[in-house]
A and B are shown apart, each in its own frame.
Chain A
Amino acid sequence: MKIFKVIAWIALIAFVGIQFFPTDRNESDLIPQTDFMLVNQVPTSIQNQLKESCYDCHSNNTKYPWYNKIQPAAWYLEDHVKEGKSELNFNEWDSLSRRRKASKLRSIIKQVESDEMPLSSYTLIHSDAVLSKAQQTEIIEYMRQLKGEAN
């Protein structure tokens, strides 16, 4: 019986202990000149949807949920955001060459088309981020049009 108590104590203390580890928060009020919305004429409805569904992981500013204050959830989110930004950062869109833009647009189209993005682990909690079929089509059509210009 005593052993359980000890284990419980250790778990509790470890849990408290990891709360002191700092995480890099992905937050910035600055919207750089290279932002996707600034360099493209994006229709408002698509702007809103992209911000809701994509910008948390694919820009320099994440709207964090409350549980980001708690480890290990914060670590998990940090990893996701880091990976998301390394694949695509809408804030830095215009720093990409034409070739890279065309490449990224194609990936965006494919990922939205096949329901891979937004990630299901993300939409599970952010129900607003879910793209309806109509929204998907709207985004895809727009990205296709952009891609046509880039090619």
Chain B
Amino acid sequence: MSKLRSTLGVVAIAFITLTAVSCNDNKKEQNKADGDHSEMSVDGDHSEMNHDNSDGHHDVDKNAMAINDSQDSKAEVILKDYFNLKNALVGDDNAKAKDLGMALTKSLKSFDVSSHSNTEQTELKDIIVDATEHAEHISESDIAHQREHFKILSKDITDMVAITGTNKKLYEQFCPMYDGGSVWLSMEKDIKNPYYGSQMLNCGKLQREIN
């Protein structure tokens, strides 16, 4: 009789443990969602704070925010993130490139193609899907892999700019050594090689000017 009872007890404990484990998983997911949420609300609070803030910085902040807002879905934000990513690779900074890969993933996903013609939309969507995948990989890889993905990403971004245009002056640069020849875009005329970084910083040449 006592054996039966202890067995029952053990079964009960196991059941509780299992339930607890599975609940834990749920909770973890919820926490994760909460984390994202709170991050978002921090931004929200920030803008509210600016709003209430009546000192001299107020207008400046508001203007900066307004520019950000109006450009959010545009190609310029993608370009900005791309150039930041490129600079991180130039500086051999794996961790920073990961963060910027994440940022680029976000700006690519929020890209709004609706202002373009149908054929352009199809092409742009295709480019965005491809670029997003490379940006995602960059956000989770070592630097050698990041550079591999950066190569195709650069082609995608070049093709995107050919459709969307940009108000920036861009330089298409070329490294003959990396992977049978690889292109990247830059805002500066000077060569700073993102495929080799400090190892061969000035290797490459200017191939084309855009705008």
State the A residues within 8 Å of B (CB): 6, 9-10, 13-14, 17-18, 97, 99-100, 103, 106, 110
Chain B: residues with Cβ within 8 Å of the partner, total of: 17
CA distance A69 to B192 in the complex (A): 54
B14 touches A99 (CB 8 A): no
Least CB distance, B139 to chain A, in whole angstroms: 15
B10 touches A100 (CB 8 A): no
A14 touches B133 (CB 8 A): no
Residues in A with CB closer than 8 Å to B134 are 103
A100 touches B13 (CB 8 A): no
A100 touches B130 (CB 8 A): yes
The answer, among A6, A99, A110, for a CB contact under 8 Å with B126, is A99
State the B residues within 8 Å of A (CB): 7, 10-11, 13-15, 17-18, 126-127, 129-130, 133-134, 148, 152, 156
B148 touches A14 (CB 8 A): no
The answer, among A9, A100, A110, for a CB contact under 8 Å with B129, is A100
Closest to B153 in A: A103
A103 touches B133 (CB 8 A): yes
Known: A14-B17, A14-B18, A103-B134. A9 touches B10 (CB 8 A): yes
A-B contact pairs, 30 of them (CB 8 A): A6-B13, A9-B7, A9-B10, A9-B14, A10-B10, A10-B13, A10-B14, A10-B17, A13-B10, A13-B11, A13-B14, A14-B14, A14-B17, A14-B18, A17-B14, A17-B15, A17-B18, A18-B18, A97-B126, A99-B126, A99-B127, A99-B130, A99-B156, A100-B126, A100-B129, A100-B130, A103-B130, A103-B134, A103-B152, A110-B148
